[in-house]
Amino acid sequence: MTEPELAGRKALVTGGAQGLGKKFAEFLTAAGATVVVADLQDDKGKEVADAVGGAYVHLDVTDDASWEAGIASAVEQVGGLDILVNNAGIEIASLFVDLDPDVLRRIFDVNVVGTSLGVKHAFRTMGPGGAAGQGGAVINIASVAATIAFPALSAYSASKSAVDRLTRVAAMESGKLGLGVRVNCVCPGLVPNEMGAGLANEMTRLGLFPSPEEAVAGVVGLTPSGRLATEEEIADAVVFLASDRSKFINGVALSVDGGMGM
Ligand SMILES: NC(=O)c1ccc[n+]([C@@H]2O[C@H](COP(=O)([O-])OP(=O)(O)OC[C@H]3O[C@@H](n4cnc5c(N)ncnc54)[C@H](O)[C@@H]3O)[C@@H](O)[C@H]2O)c1
Protein backbone atom coordinates (compact mmCIF):
# COMPACT_ATOMS: atom_id res chain seq x y z
CA MET A 1 0.00 0.00 0.00
CA THR A 2 1.34 3.47 -0.85
CA GLU A 3 1.63 6.08 1.89
CA PRO A 4 -0.86 8.98 1.86
CA GLU A 5 0.82 11.86 0.05
CA LEU A 6 0.98 14.18 3.07
CA ALA A 7 2.01 11.49 5.59
CA GLY A 8 4.08 13.00 8.37
CA ARG A 9 3.37 16.61 7.35
CA LYS A 10 2.03 19.16 9.81
CA ALA A 11 -0.41 21.78 8.55
CA LEU A 12 -2.03 24.88 10.02
CA VAL A 13 -5.30 26.19 8.54
CA THR A 14 -6.46 29.68 9.54
CA GLY A 15 -10.20 30.23 9.64
CA GLY A 16 -10.54 26.46 10.02
CA ALA A 17 -13.64 26.51 12.26
CA GLN A 18 -16.15 26.45 9.41
CA GLY A 19 -16.70 26.65 5.66
CA LEU A 20 -13.76 26.16 3.34
CA GLY A 21 -11.21 26.09 6.16
CA LYS A 22 -13.03 23.19 7.81
CA LYS A 23 -13.07 21.34 4.48
CA PHE A 24 -9.34 21.98 4.02
CA ALA A 25 -8.69 20.55 7.50
CA GLU A 26 -10.65 17.42 6.57
CA PHE A 27 -8.98 16.94 3.17
CA LEU A 28 -5.44 17.61 4.45
CA THR A 29 -6.08 15.08 7.22
CA ALA A 30 -7.42 12.53 4.73
CA ALA A 31 -4.22 13.05 2.72
CA GLY A 32 -2.17 12.09 5.80
CA ALA A 33 -1.31 15.44 7.42
CA THR A 34 -1.75 16.37 11.06
CA VAL A 35 -3.78 19.57 11.11
CA VAL A 36 -3.87 22.49 13.50
CA VAL A 37 -7.10 24.48 13.20
CA ALA A 38 -6.66 28.20 13.94
CA ASP A 39 -9.59 30.59 14.35
CA LEU A 40 -11.32 33.15 16.54
CA GLN A 41 -14.29 30.83 17.09
CA ASP A 42 -12.84 28.56 19.75
CA ASP A 43 -15.77 26.16 20.28
CA LYS A 44 -16.35 25.48 16.59
CA GLY A 45 -12.60 25.35 15.92
CA LYS A 46 -12.03 22.80 18.67
CA GLU A 47 -14.88 20.69 17.33
CA VAL A 48 -13.23 20.57 13.89
CA ALA A 49 -9.82 19.84 15.43
CA ASP A 50 -11.31 16.98 17.48
CA ALA A 51 -13.13 15.58 14.45
CA VAL A 52 -9.93 15.44 12.38
CA GLY A 53 -7.75 14.27 15.28
CA GLY A 54 -5.67 17.44 15.18
CA ALA A 55 -5.05 20.41 17.45
CA TYR A 56 -6.59 23.85 17.93
CA VAL A 57 -5.06 27.28 18.49
CA HIS A 58 -6.81 30.62 19.01
CA LEU A 59 -5.27 32.90 16.40
CA ASP A 60 -6.36 36.34 15.20
CA VAL A 61 -4.68 36.67 11.81
CA THR A 62 -4.67 40.48 12.02
CA ASP A 63 -2.49 40.44 15.13
CA ASP A 64 1.27 39.88 14.95
CA ALA A 65 1.59 38.72 18.56
CA SER A 66 -1.29 36.30 18.06
CA TRP A 67 0.57 34.73 15.12
CA GLU A 68 3.74 34.46 17.17
CA ALA A 69 1.98 32.67 20.01
CA GLY A 70 -0.33 30.63 17.77
CA ILE A 71 2.42 29.21 15.58
CA ALA A 72 4.64 28.47 18.59
CA SER A 73 1.76 26.59 20.19
CA ALA A 74 0.98 24.74 16.95
CA VAL A 75 4.59 23.60 16.53
CA GLU A 76 4.70 22.50 20.16
CA GLN A 77 1.42 20.59 19.92
CA VAL A 78 2.07 18.69 16.68
CA GLY A 79 5.87 18.74 16.47
CA GLY A 80 6.48 20.88 13.39
CA LEU A 81 5.00 22.93 10.56
CA ASP A 82 5.25 22.10 6.85
CA ILE A 83 2.06 23.60 5.40
CA LEU A 84 0.24 26.86 6.11
CA VAL A 85 -3.15 27.54 4.54
CA ASN A 86 -3.85 31.28 4.85
CA ASN A 87 -7.61 30.86 4.53
CA ALA A 88 -9.18 33.27 7.05
CA GLY A 89 -10.95 36.03 5.16
CA ILE A 90 -14.01 38.24 5.22
CA GLU A 91 -16.31 39.59 2.52
CA ILE A 92 -18.47 42.70 2.88
CA ALA A 93 -20.13 44.10 -0.25
CA SER A 94 -20.65 47.82 -0.78
CA LEU A 95 -21.30 50.18 -3.63
CA PHE A 96 -18.66 52.87 -4.09
CA VAL A 97 -21.24 55.57 -3.34
CA ASP A 98 -21.80 54.05 0.12
CA LEU A 99 -18.22 53.01 0.90
CA ASP A 100 -17.39 53.16 4.61
CA PRO A 101 -13.63 53.54 5.11
CA ASP A 102 -13.80 51.51 8.31
CA VAL A 103 -15.27 48.56 6.41
CA LEU A 104 -12.60 48.93 3.74
CA ARG A 105 -9.88 48.91 6.41
CA ARG A 106 -11.42 45.87 8.13
CA ILE A 107 -11.45 43.88 4.88
CA PHE A 108 -7.83 44.79 4.20
CA ASP A 109 -6.85 44.06 7.78
CA VAL A 110 -8.10 40.47 7.67
CA ASN A 111 -7.50 39.59 4.01
CA VAL A 112 -4.22 41.41 3.31
CA VAL A 113 -2.55 42.11 6.66
CA GLY A 114 -3.69 38.71 7.94
CA THR A 115 -2.33 36.83 4.94
CA SER A 116 0.92 38.81 4.94
CA LEU A 117 1.54 38.10 8.62
CA GLY A 118 0.87 34.43 7.91
CA VAL A 119 3.58 34.43 5.27
CA LYS A 120 5.92 36.23 7.67
CA HIS A 121 5.48 33.71 10.45
CA ALA A 122 5.52 30.72 8.09
CA PHE A 123 8.86 31.88 6.70
CA ARG A 124 10.30 32.42 10.16
CA THR A 125 9.08 29.04 11.35
CA MET A 126 9.69 26.86 8.29
CA GLY A 127 12.89 28.50 7.06
CA PRO A 128 16.40 27.37 8.06
CA GLY A 129 16.89 27.79 11.81
CA GLY A 130 13.15 28.21 12.44
CA ALA A 131 11.23 26.20 15.05
CA ALA A 132 10.15 23.76 12.31
CA GLY A 133 12.99 24.50 9.86
CA GLN A 134 12.20 21.98 7.11
CA GLY A 135 10.78 24.32 4.45
CA GLY A 136 7.32 23.61 3.11
CA ALA A 137 4.35 25.11 1.33
CA VAL A 138 2.15 28.15 1.93
CA ILE A 139 -1.22 28.27 0.21
CA ASN A 140 -3.03 31.61 0.29
CA ILE A 141 -6.75 31.70 -0.44
CA ALA A 142 -7.55 34.53 -2.82
CA SER A 143 -10.77 34.51 -4.90
CA VAL A 144 -12.20 34.64 -8.38
CA ALA A 145 -12.99 38.21 -7.29
CA ALA A 146 -9.29 38.97 -7.85
CA THR A 147 -9.76 38.23 -11.54
CA ILE A 148 -13.16 39.69 -12.48
CA ALA A 149 -15.15 42.91 -12.08
CA PHE A 150 -18.36 42.24 -10.14
CA PRO A 151 -20.34 45.21 -8.80
CA ALA A 152 -20.13 46.02 -5.07
CA LEU A 153 -17.01 43.91 -4.56
CA SER A 154 -14.38 46.65 -4.95
CA ALA A 155 -12.84 46.29 -1.49
CA TYR A 156 -13.01 42.50 -1.46
CA SER A 157 -11.67 42.22 -5.03
CA ALA A 158 -8.85 44.66 -4.33
CA SER A 159 -7.90 42.73 -1.19
CA LYS A 160 -7.85 39.42 -3.06
CA SER A 161 -5.85 40.93 -5.95
CA ALA A 162 -3.38 41.97 -3.27
CA VAL A 163 -3.27 38.38 -1.99
CA ASP A 164 -2.55 37.20 -5.54
CA ARG A 165 0.33 39.68 -5.96
CA LEU A 166 1.84 39.24 -2.49
CA THR A 167 1.86 35.49 -3.14
CA ARG A 168 4.19 36.00 -6.11
CA VAL A 169 6.47 38.34 -4.20
CA ALA A 170 6.58 35.88 -1.30
CA ALA A 171 7.57 33.01 -3.63
CA MET A 172 10.34 35.15 -5.13
CA GLU A 173 11.58 36.29 -1.73
CA SER A 174 11.57 32.76 -0.34
CA GLY A 175 13.66 31.60 -3.27
CA LYS A 176 16.05 34.51 -2.99
CA LEU A 177 16.56 33.89 0.73
CA GLY A 178 16.77 30.10 0.33
CA LEU A 179 13.90 29.45 2.72
CA GLY A 180 12.69 26.31 0.96
CA VAL A 181 9.06 27.40 1.14
CA ARG A 182 6.85 27.38 -1.96
CA VAL A 183 4.07 30.00 -1.96
CA ASN A 184 1.00 29.71 -4.18
CA CYS A 185 -2.58 30.88 -4.03
CA VAL A 186 -5.94 29.46 -5.00
CA CYS A 187 -8.69 31.61 -6.52
CA PRO A 188 -11.96 29.81 -5.72
CA GLY A 189 -15.15 30.54 -7.58
CA LEU A 190 -18.33 31.22 -5.63
CA VAL A 191 -19.12 28.37 -3.23
CA PRO A 192 -22.70 28.07 -1.95
CA ASN A 193 -21.72 28.01 1.73
CA GLU A 194 -22.40 30.65 4.41
CA MET A 195 -20.14 33.28 2.80
CA GLY A 196 -21.39 32.50 -0.72
CA ALA A 197 -25.04 32.74 0.36
CA GLY A 198 -24.24 35.96 2.23
CA LEU A 199 -22.85 37.48 -0.95
CA ALA A 200 -25.97 36.60 -2.94
CA ASN A 201 -28.11 38.18 -0.19
CA GLU A 202 -25.97 41.33 -0.19
CA MET A 203 -26.29 41.69 -3.98
CA THR A 204 -30.06 41.60 -3.53
CA ARG A 205 -30.03 44.05 -0.60
CA LEU A 206 -27.99 46.48 -2.71
CA GLY A 207 -30.57 46.26 -5.50
CA LEU A 208 -28.17 44.71 -8.03
CA PHE A 209 -30.28 41.56 -8.50
CA PRO A 210 -34.00 41.00 -7.80
CA SER A 211 -33.32 37.94 -5.60
CA PRO A 212 -30.42 35.87 -4.20
CA GLU A 213 -31.35 33.12 -6.69
CA GLU A 214 -30.94 35.54 -9.57
CA ALA A 215 -27.62 36.77 -8.17
CA VAL A 216 -26.41 33.15 -8.16
CA ALA A 217 -27.77 32.69 -11.68
CA GLY A 218 -25.80 35.79 -12.70
CA VAL A 219 -22.58 34.18 -11.46
CA VAL A 220 -23.42 30.84 -13.07
CA GLY A 221 -24.14 32.65 -16.34
CA LEU A 222 -20.57 34.00 -16.33
CA THR A 223 -19.12 30.53 -15.65
CA PRO A 224 -18.23 28.28 -18.63
CA SER A 225 -18.70 25.16 -16.48
CA GLY A 226 -22.26 26.35 -15.79
CA ARG A 227 -22.45 25.94 -12.01
CA LEU A 228 -20.98 27.07 -8.69
CA ALA A 229 -17.91 25.48 -7.08
CA THR A 230 -18.05 22.89 -4.32
CA GLU A 231 -15.93 23.10 -1.17
CA GLU A 232 -14.44 19.72 -2.10
CA GLU A 233 -13.17 21.01 -5.45
CA ILE A 234 -11.35 23.88 -3.73
CA ALA A 235 -9.94 21.52 -1.09
CA ASP A 236 -8.54 19.21 -3.80
CA ALA A 237 -6.55 22.17 -5.16
CA VAL A 238 -5.22 23.02 -1.69
CA VAL A 239 -4.05 19.44 -1.11
CA PHE A 240 -2.41 19.43 -4.54
CA LEU A 241 -0.50 22.66 -3.83
CA ALA A 242 0.51 21.33 -0.40
CA SER A 243 1.85 18.08 -1.81
CA ASP A 244 4.97 17.06 -3.73
CA ARG A 245 2.82 16.62 -6.84
CA SER A 246 3.16 20.39 -7.20
CA LYS A 247 6.79 20.59 -6.10
CA PHE A 248 7.88 22.72 -9.09
CA ILE A 249 4.83 24.97 -8.94
CA ASN A 250 5.69 28.20 -7.19
CA GLY A 251 4.24 31.71 -7.15
CA VAL A 252 1.09 30.89 -9.11
CA ALA A 253 -2.57 31.72 -8.70
CA LEU A 254 -4.57 28.58 -9.42
CA SER A 255 -8.11 29.42 -10.49
CA VAL A 256 -10.70 26.85 -9.38
CA ASP A 257 -13.71 28.67 -10.73
CA GLY A 258 -15.12 26.72 -13.66
CA GLY A 259 -13.53 29.25 -16.01
CA MET A 260 -15.32 32.33 -14.65
CA GLY A 261 -12.20 34.44 -14.20
CA MET A 262 -10.37 34.45 -17.49
N1 LIG B 1 -17.29 31.13 0.04
C2 LIG B 1 -16.94 31.53 -1.15
O3 LIG B 1 -17.73 31.56 -2.10
C4 LIG B 1 -15.52 31.96 -1.41
C5 LIG B 1 -15.13 32.17 -2.73
C6 LIG B 1 -13.82 32.58 -2.98
C7 LIG B 1 -12.94 32.77 -1.93
N8 LIG B 1 -13.35 32.56 -0.65
C9 LIG B 1 -12.36 32.77 0.41
O10 LIG B 1 -12.19 31.56 1.11
C11 LIG B 1 -11.85 31.81 2.48
C12 LIG B 1 -12.81 31.05 3.38
O13 LIG B 1 -14.13 31.44 3.08
P14 LIG B 1 -15.42 30.72 3.72
O15 LIG B 1 -16.45 30.69 2.67
O16 LIG B 1 -15.03 29.47 4.41
O17 LIG B 1 -15.82 31.86 4.79
P18 LIG B 1 -16.45 31.72 6.26
O19 LIG B 1 -16.91 33.09 6.61
O20 LIG B 1 -17.43 30.60 6.30
O21 LIG B 1 -15.21 31.30 7.18
C22 LIG B 1 -14.17 32.20 7.47
C23 LIG B 1 -13.50 31.75 8.75
O24 LIG B 1 -12.44 32.69 9.03
C25 LIG B 1 -12.49 33.04 10.40
N26 LIG B 1 -11.91 34.36 10.62
C27 LIG B 1 -12.42 35.56 10.26
N28 LIG B 1 -11.61 36.55 10.69
C29 LIG B 1 -10.57 35.96 11.32
C30 LIG B 1 -9.41 36.45 11.98
N31 LIG B 1 -9.16 37.76 12.11
N32 LIG B 1 -8.53 35.55 12.50
C33 LIG B 1 -8.77 34.22 12.40
N34 LIG B 1 -9.86 33.70 11.80
C35 LIG B 1 -10.75 34.57 11.27
C36 LIG B 1 -13.98 32.99 10.77
O37 LIG B 1 -14.17 32.85 12.16
C38 LIG B 1 -14.44 31.77 9.97
O39 LIG B 1 -14.30 30.58 10.71
C40 LIG B 1 -11.91 33.33 2.63
O41 LIG B 1 -10.61 33.88 2.50
C42 LIG B 1 -12.78 33.77 1.48
O43 LIG B 1 -12.55 35.10 1.10
C44 LIG B 1 -14.61 32.15 -0.36
Tell me: do 103 and 207 sit in the same domain. no
| Whether pLDDT at 3 is above 90 | no
Active-site annotation holds for 56: no
Tell me: do 87 and 64 sit in the same domain. yes
Tens digits of per-residue pLDDT, 84-94? Answer: 999 999 999 99
Tell me: do 171 and 195 sit in the same domain. no
148 SS3 class:
coil
Tell me: do 40 and 140 sit in the same domain. yes
Residue 1 lies in a domain: no
Separation of alpha carbons 116 and 137, rounded Å: 15
DSSP structure string for 98-111: G--HHHHHHHHIII
Residue 180 lies in a domain: yes
Q: How far does residue 90's CA lie from ligand 1's centre (Å)?
A: 5
| Whether pLDDT at 103 is above 70 | yes
Residue 54 lies in a domain: yes
User: If pLDDT is split at 50, 70 and 90, which confidence band does 2 have?
Assistant: confident
Taking the CA of residue 22 as reference, the ligand 1 atom at the shortest distance is: 16
pLDDT of residue 35: 98
Tell me: do 137 and 169 sit in the same domain. yes
Residue 236 lies in a domain: yes
User: If pLDDT is split at 50, 70 and 90, which confidence band does 6 have?
Assistant: very high
Separation of alpha carbons 35 and 28, rounded Å: 7
Enclosing domain of residue 169 = 10-189+229-255
Tell me: do 207 and 128 sit in the same domain. no
Residue 171 lies in a domain: yes
Tell me: do 39 and 163 sit in the same domain. yes
pLDDT of residue 208: 97
User: If pLDDT is split at 50, 70 and 90, which confidence band does 104 have?
Assistant: very high
| Whether pLDDT at 262 is above 90 | no
Return phi, psi of residue 211, to 5°.
Answer: -155, 160
Tens digits of per-residue pLDDT, 20-40? Answer: 999 999 999 999 999 999 999
**What totals of helices (H) and strands (E) does the chain contain, helices first?**
9, 7
Q: What is the mean pLDDT of the chain?
A: 97
Pocket of ligand 1 (CB under 6 A): 14-15, 17-21, 39-41, 59-62, 87-91, 110, 114, 141, 143, 188, 190-191, 193-196
Tens digits of per-residue pLDDT, 149-162? Answer: 999 999 999 999 99
Tell me: do 233 and 248 sit in the same domain. yes
- The Cβ of residue 42 has, within 10 Å, a number of other Cβ atoms equal to 12
Tell me: do 101 and 172 sit in the same domain. yes
Residue 3 lies in a domain: no
For residues 157-171, average pLDDT: 98
User: If pLDDT is split at 50, 70 and 90, which confidence band does 7 have?
Assistant: very high
CATH number for position 95: 3.40.50.720
Residue 95 lies in a domain: yes
Q: Chain centroid to CA 103: how far? A: 20
| Whether pLDDT at 1 is above 70 | no
Domain count, the chain: 2
Tens digits of per-residue pLDDT, 56-69? Answer: 999 999 999 999 99
Residue 262 lies in a domain: no
For residues 199-226, average pLDDT: 97
133 and 71 Cβ atoms separated by less than 8 Å:
no
Separation of alpha carbons 24 and 32, rounded Å: 12
Q: What is the DSSP letter of 21?
A: H
The pTM score is: 0.98
Q: How far does residue 230's CA lie from ligand 1's centre (Å)?
A: 15
Tell me: do 133 and 203 sit in the same domain. no
Tell me: do 54 and 147 sit in the same domain. yes
CA-nearest residue, atom 15 of ligand 1: 195
Tell me: do 128 and 238 sit in the same domain. yes
Which residues neighbour 217 within 8 Å (Cβ) at sequence distance 6 or greater? Answer: none
Q: How far does residue 200's CA lie from ligand 1's centre (Å)?
A: 16
Catalytic pick from 123, 156, 209, 240? 156
